[in-house]
Amino acid sequence: MAITVKELQGFLDSAPFHQFMKMKITAADKEAETITISMDYRPEYQRIEGSGEIHGGVIASLVDIAGDFALIHLLGKGVPTINFRVDYLRPAVSTGLTAIAKIRRAGRTIGVVDIDVFNDSGKLIAVGTGCYGTGY
Q: 10 Å Cβ neighbour count for 6?
A: 9
Residue 106 has pLDDT above 80, yes or no: yes
- Into how many domains does the chain fold? 1
Question: Residue 37, class by beta-carbon neighbours within 10 Å (0-12 exposed, 13-18 middle, 19+ buried)?
Answer: buried
Average pLDDT for 31-52: 96
Residue 1 has pLDDT above 80, yes or no: no
To the nearest 10°, report the CA torsion of 55, 74, 132, 36.
-10
Mean pLDDT of the chain: 95
Please list the helix, strand and coil fractions of the chain in percent, rounded to the nearest 5, in that order: 30, 40, 30
* pLDDT tens per residue across span 60-80: 999 999 999 999 999 999 999
The distance of Cα 110 from the centroid of its chain, to the nearest Å, equals 18
b or e along 81-108 (b: 16 or more beta carbons within 10 Å of the residue's beta carbon)?
eeebebeeeeebeebebbbbbbbeebee
CATH number for the domain spanning 29: value is: 3.10.129.10
The reported pTM is: 0.95
Residue 2 has pLDDT above 70, yes or no: no
**Domain span holding position 47:** 5-133
